[in-house]
Structure 1
């Protein structure tokens, strides 16, 4: 089968199509014929090699061997199931996550990392959703314990995680403040945000006069990437959170080492894939309570993925960039 892999780290041109064996299944795995996947910020950091030069490299000790297949989101059709699999059968349409390596024709996925998707949901939508929707879901409801009527600031409200979080928080009855560039303000307000600020032009510390209960930060501050500690954006986040509030970061991986400020519960987390949460997300999408915005779709080929990576490094962009077998 075909896999699109890195043969070295660097520019998108390092991607190549390789022939690799179809993965063998364990008893608890499902073989999925891929239809769509997408790009996340972590994929860009791996592909460029930037993550090798950062303190985060220690968190991925076994994931730098070349050739390396990137991608962790999967949407497709079940072709085969392991002997102990009980929730899926051949022919099911599914979406889910793999730890690494979804840019290939077939992927082996643990049963608990998948959910069935309805016919009303396209493979492209499903391929865009798992990481960002799951991250937003768990940040808001598991880590943030968001309650109706609370005030929340979503940093990078037009991005993958951010645009999902704005919708979910509004659906849950929160007052939603978001940051986004000027050209994305109408888009983010259309998702349900009550207020939107361009963090490159205004100081949110002076614009947000009533403290927020929760901050969800998915904005990649260069200084944060280098140290894992809150950078300039992080300092602004602290300034707008109420005493005893919650600061959830998906970028500041060393925030737990930061001195405690005004009893604020500050935490970094990475999404924990599981079928129950995926099923909740699928239900929200089916009921039109959550829509994953697709910025652009490219062919599921080395050239298509190259173009998708080029697009992902440009501005402006909104939501997710998808690669699909239905293209090209």
Structure 2
């Protein structure tokens, strides 16, 4: 059996964690050494966290921009992605056992800490082919890419997909998953990310800093547009115009609209938690068909700086944070 050790303050178990006590800029993220350690409720498990990872949407949550539809109570520890080892079971929890190495999307957050609780039913066995900490790169970005391509985009072998913003975490998974499905992938990326995107399988990499993306397509339309970048109305319209009649446009960032009569179906995606899909992603990792593109691993105390980098466009791939 795995045993745990922890600090106590006044009889209460404590841990290191990054929490916010108010919404605002990255400075509201406080690295604390005496945060209360959570206890698992019925159906939950307590994890000793191996890592969490940064997702741009969590910067919006930190700033208070998501309170209207994703409210959180303060103080709050961010960290939707989490990988770790089960160290305690909540009452009546039977899906997992102490010592299990797992990964999952913790919708209530909490991954930015030494310990986190999560519903057992939302966790899956971590890939065995990579370090446990690396698995934290997978849940949010991987599930978003999967659902954008296959549920909303209905991508099929032989189709052509344009991944706009392929240098980020979601874009890297989308490029690989689309190639694995037999699609032709056109990917936009900055010169800094171009080589990585090519390694992930893109058939054509377009430098979006060099001019209009549509001009680089050679007049050939795409079956699916996957937009991962905040855009203004003119740029959005130009991208949607690259989609053939009857094709699809899926945006994870700026909502997109298809012109009347174009025959294009436009969707704004908010990804959901899906353990079965996550388990399929883990299987692809263990088969070597999906590579985790981790650009940096940093200590948990650096989370505020990682948020600053993310908001300035200074992050490529996935950044892990380890306690």
Q: How many residues align?
A: 306
- The equivalent of 1:156 in structure 2 is 165
Q: Any idea what SS the aligned residue of 2:316 has?
A: coil
Given that residues 82 and 103 in structure 2 are in contact (C-alpha distance below 8 angstroms), is that contact kept between their aligned partners in structure 1? Answer: yes
1:237 is aligned, of 223, 236, 239, to 239
1:219 aligns with 2:229: yes
Residue 91 of structure 1 corresponds to which residue in structure 2?
A: 99
List alignment gaps of at least 5 residues for structure 2: 1-14
Aligned residue among 178, 181, 184 for 2:190: 181
In 2, the alpha carbon distance for the partners of 1:311 and 1:206 equals 31
Tell me the alpha carbon deviations over residues 23-66 of structure 1, each in whole angstroms, 9 at most, x when there is no partner: 2323322221111001111112233x2x53xxx54222x22x43
CA–CA distance in structure 2, aligned partners of residues 73 and 261 of structure 1? 40
Q: SS of the counterpart of 1:119?
A: coil
Where does residue 28 of structure 1 map in the other structure? 43
- Quick check: 1:4–1:16 contact (8 Å CA) kept in 2? yes
**Whole-Å separation in 2 of the counterparts to 1:200 and 1:169:** 24
Whole-angstrom distance in 1 between the partners of 2:275 and 2:92? 16
Aligned to 1:228: none
- Partner Cα distance (2:133, 2:49) in 1: 11
Secondary structure at 1:59 match in 2: coil
Q: Spell out the pairing of 1:123-162 with structure 2 (5 A cutoff).
A: 123-162=132-171
Distance 1:83 1:67 in 2: 25
Alignment partner, residue 4 of structure 2: none
Distance in 1 of aligned mates of 2:123 and 2:260: 37
Quick one: distance in 1 between partners of 2:244 and 2:290? Answer: 28
- Flag the 1:261–1:14 CA change in 2: closer, same or farther, 3 A: farther
In the superposition, the TM-score normalised over structure 2's length comes to 0.88
1:260 Cα deviation after fit: 4.5
Match of 2:30 among 11, 16, 31: 16
> Do the aligned partners of 2:44 and 2:90 also contact (CA within 8 Å) in 1?
yes
Give the SS at the match of 1:252.
coil
Who is 1:6 aligned against?
20
1:291 is matched with 291
2:129/2:285 contact within 8 Å kept: no
- Cα distance change, pair 30–233 in 1 and its aligned pair in 2 (3 A): farther
Work out the CA distance in 1 between the residues paired with 2:17 and 2:308.
Answer: 19
* 1:242-271 Cα shifts (integer Å, max 9, x gaps): 111111111135x47x76451211111222
**Residue 73 in structure 1 maps to residue 81 in structure 2:** yes
Aligned residues of 1:298 and 1:307 also touching (Cα < 8 A): no
Note if contact 2:127-2:283 (Cα within 8 Å) is conserved in structure 1: no
Q: Is the 8 A contact 1:112 1:274 kept in 2?
A: no
Structure 1 regions of 5+ residues with no counterpart? 224-230
Tell me how far 1:87 sits from its aligned partner. Answer: 3.2
1:246 counterpart residue number: 248
Separation in 1 of the partners of 2:37 and 2:98?
A: 16
TM-score normalised over the length of structure 1: 0.86
Mapped partners of 1:118, 1:160: distance in 2:
18
Between 197-206 and 212-221, the greater mean CA deviation after superposition? 197-206
Work out the CA distance in 2 between the residues paired with 1:314 and 1:122: 29
Shift of residue 159 of structure 1?
0.6
Point out the more displaced range, 79-88 or 207-216.
Answer: 79-88
How large is the Cα RMSD of the aligned pairs? Answer: 2.0
Which deviates the most, 172-181 or 105-114? 105-114
- Flag the 1:13–1:194 CA change in 2: closer, same or farther, 3 A: same
Distance between the aligned counterparts of 1:292 and 1:86, measured in 2?
A: 30
Structure 1: how far apart are the matches of 2:53 and 2:156?
31
